[in-house]
């Protein structure tokens, strides 16, 4: 069996999805997602200039050897651009393999450990009352787990994940008005004075059962994150996400020694080396890697297996930038993984998105039920794709009140 061609498509409804379609000499094709949010043209170029010319002619069933060829053969290893580019190839090769086997992909991992995989959605509000309304709306849609982000009094401007006014913030991440990022201001003192009590008020309003998640988005220093994690313990969060940047994995030792708040980190990671210490020292409770940024299914499955040895559960990233292709790949991993935790899910299903990526995956009452179609269970309509083009966009950069450039 041979790969005969591969094409990259950039664009989508309100997004710059980077979709890879690999054709074979047996008429079976595979799909992959290389959408690196805010840098979409880079994995697209990496694929077209470097990877696809080396891919054509190979046997698509040898996905492991192809992964090693692109990882070790690059000489300069890892990085989000490369790992997203050959992550898409890897997803497409698994899609082809499962279609050849005439099985839904999860069967090739070891079958189902569960039918429905729990999802969490996003609720946000410019103030506590708007947040409460937003949480209520998510509960009405059937979600049993909700991430909550709230505007902070005294914070000079809207901070991460919070709409400017009372509007919806579903697309708050990327602003497509051009490549120059907007500016956000961050003040840790305002945040730390307000948020623990706000989270406790949410818990009191909605009761003990609702799974509450909160994303600090890398903005506290290690010591601040340790204090904050201890202060939010009474709110009994399902997880506290990205409390402090984890480039220095040691930094999480301080937090872990002061708090039992469950910690979730990993959406910015692109290889097992970014999280090996966090997992092996059990400094986190959930690993957030995404098949798109972390080298595809082959590499993410290695991370999931390592995490399973250390009581760490999965909580794959699922921001609006992920296309239904990578969300489908994660849906198959979610029903298989013995150490599945939860899946982030920002409603993909606009009519335009469904037309571009026809799929039989189902969401009901806050649970994702994976398709039993052979392969990933998602398709790609090339004719629909002609409607879309790349549009320059960026998420904000952040500065402290004194102008210091800070973590977005």
User: Least CB distance from residue 239 to Mg ion, whole Å?
Assistant: 10
With beta carbons less than 8 A apart as the criterion, state whether 52 and 13 touch: no
Say how many residues touch ligand CS2, by CB under 6 A: 10
Give CA separation, 395 vs 173, 401, 403, in Å: 5, 19, 18
Query: What whole-number distance in Å separates Cα of residue 372 and Cα of residue 406?
Result: 45
Nearer to Mg ion, 187 or 215 (CB): 215
Within 10 angstroms of residue 286's Cβ, the number of other Cβ atoms is: 23
User: Least CB distance from residue 60 to ligand CS2, whole Å?
Assistant: 30
List the catalytic residues.
160, 217
Q: Which does 321 bind (CB under 5 to 8 A by kind): ligand CS2, Mg ion, none?
A: ligand CS2
Chain residues in the site for Mg ion (CB under 5 A): 215
Both tokens of residue 302?
């290695």
| Contact residue for ligand CS2 among 221, 302, 395, 399 (CB under 6 A) | 395
| Contact residue for ligand CS2 among 184, 267, 285, 384 (CB under 6 A) | 267
With beta carbons less than 8 A apart as the criterion, state whether 283 and 249 touch: yes
Residue 180: φ, ψ to 5°: -80, 125
Our finding on whether 319 is near ligand CS2 (CB under 6 A) is yes
- Which residues lie closer than 8 Å to 281 by C-beta, 6 or more apart? 249, 253
CA-wise closest residue to 395 among 181, 239, 236, 238? 181
Question: Contact letters (x/-) for ligand CS2, 151-170, by CB under 6 A?
Answer: --------------------
Nearer to Mg ion, 33 or 215 (CB): 215
Query: What whole-number distance in Å separates Cα of residue 391 and Cα of residue 219?
Result: 28
Nearer to ligand CS2, 55 or 294 (CB): 294
Nearer to ligand CS2, 9 or 316 (CB): 316
Q: Which does 344 bind (CB under 5 to 8 A by kind): Mg ion, ligand CS2, none?
A: ligand CS2
Our finding on whether 321 is near ligand CS2 (CB under 6 A) is yes
Both tokens of residue 14?
């309100």
Q: CB-based burial of residue 383 (10 Å sphere; 0-12 exposed, 13-18 middle, 19+ buried)? A: exposed
Nearer to Mg ion, 125 or 377 (CB): 125
Nearest-10 Cα torsion for 102, 106, 108, 114? -120
Q: Which does 235 bind (CB under 5 to 8 A by kind): ligand CS2, Mg ion, none?
A: none
| Contact residue for ligand CS2 among 88, 132, 173, 303 (CB under 6 A) | 173
For the chain, the helix, strand and coil percentages under 3-state DSSP, each to the nearest 5:
35, 20, 45
Our finding on whether 184 is near ligand CS2 (CB under 6 A) is no
Nearer to ligand CS2, 126 or 343 (CB): 343
Query: What whole-number distance in Å separates Cα of residue 52 and Cα of residue 27?
Result: 18
Q: Which does 184 bind (CB under 5 to 8 A by kind): Mg ion, ligand CS2, none?
A: none
Q: Which does 37 bind (CB under 5 to 8 A by kind): Mg ion, ligand CS2, none?
A: ligand CS2
Residue ranges in contact with ligand CS2 by CB under 6 A: 37-38, 173, 215, 217, 267, 319, 321, 344, 395
């Amino acid at each position: 069996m041979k790969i005969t061609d591969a094409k990259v498509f950039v664009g989508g409804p309100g997004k710059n999805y980077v979709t890879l379609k690999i054709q074979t000499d047996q008429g079976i094709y595979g799909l992959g997602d290389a959408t690196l949010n805010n840098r979409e043209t880079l994995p697209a170029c990496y694929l077209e200039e470097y990877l696809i010319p080396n891919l054509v002619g190979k046997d698509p069933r040898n996905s492991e050897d192809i992964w090693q060829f692109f990882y070790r053969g690059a000489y300069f290893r890892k990085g989000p651009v490369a790992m997203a580019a050959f992550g898409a190839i890897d997803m497409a090769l698994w899609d082809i393999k499962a279609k050849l086997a005439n099985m839904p992909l999860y069967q090739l991992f070891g079958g189902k450990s569960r039918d429905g995989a729990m999802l969490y959605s996003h609720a946000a509000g410019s103030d506590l009352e708007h947040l409460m309304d937003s949480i209520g709306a998510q509960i009405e849609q059937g979600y049993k787990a909700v991430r909550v982000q709230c505007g902070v009094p005294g914070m000079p401007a809207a901070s991460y994940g919070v709409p400017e006014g009372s509007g919806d913030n579903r697309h708050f991440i990327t602003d497509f008005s051009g490549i120059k990022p907007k500016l956000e201001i961050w003040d840790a003192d305002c945040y730390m004075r307000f948020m623990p009590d706000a989270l406790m008020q949410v818990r009191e309003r909605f009761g003990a059962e609702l799974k509450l998640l909160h994303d600090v988005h890398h903005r506290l220093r290690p010591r601040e994150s340790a204090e904050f994690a201890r202060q939010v313990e009474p709110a009994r969060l399902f997880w506290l996400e990205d409390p402090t940047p984890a480039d220095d994995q040691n930094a999480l030792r301080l937090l872990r020694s002061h708090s039992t708040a469950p910690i979730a980190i990993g959406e910015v990671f692109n290889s097992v080396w970014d999280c090996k210490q966090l997992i092996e020292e059990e400094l986190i409770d959930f690993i957030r890697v995404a098949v798109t940024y972390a080298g595809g299914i082959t590499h993410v499955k290695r991370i999931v297996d390592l995490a399973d040895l250390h009581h760490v559960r999965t909580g794959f990233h699922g921001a609006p930038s992920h296309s239904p292709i990578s969300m489908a790949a994660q849906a198959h991993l979610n029903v298989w993984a013995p150490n599945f935790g939860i899946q982030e899910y920002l409603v993909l299903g606009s009519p335009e998105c469904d037309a571009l990526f026809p799929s039989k995956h189902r969401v009901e009452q806050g649970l994702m039920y994976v398709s039993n179609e052979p392969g990933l269970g998602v398709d790609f309509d090339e004719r629909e794709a002609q409607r879309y083009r790349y549009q320059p966009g960026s998420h904000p950069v952040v500065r402290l009140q004194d102008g210091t450039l800070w973590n977005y």
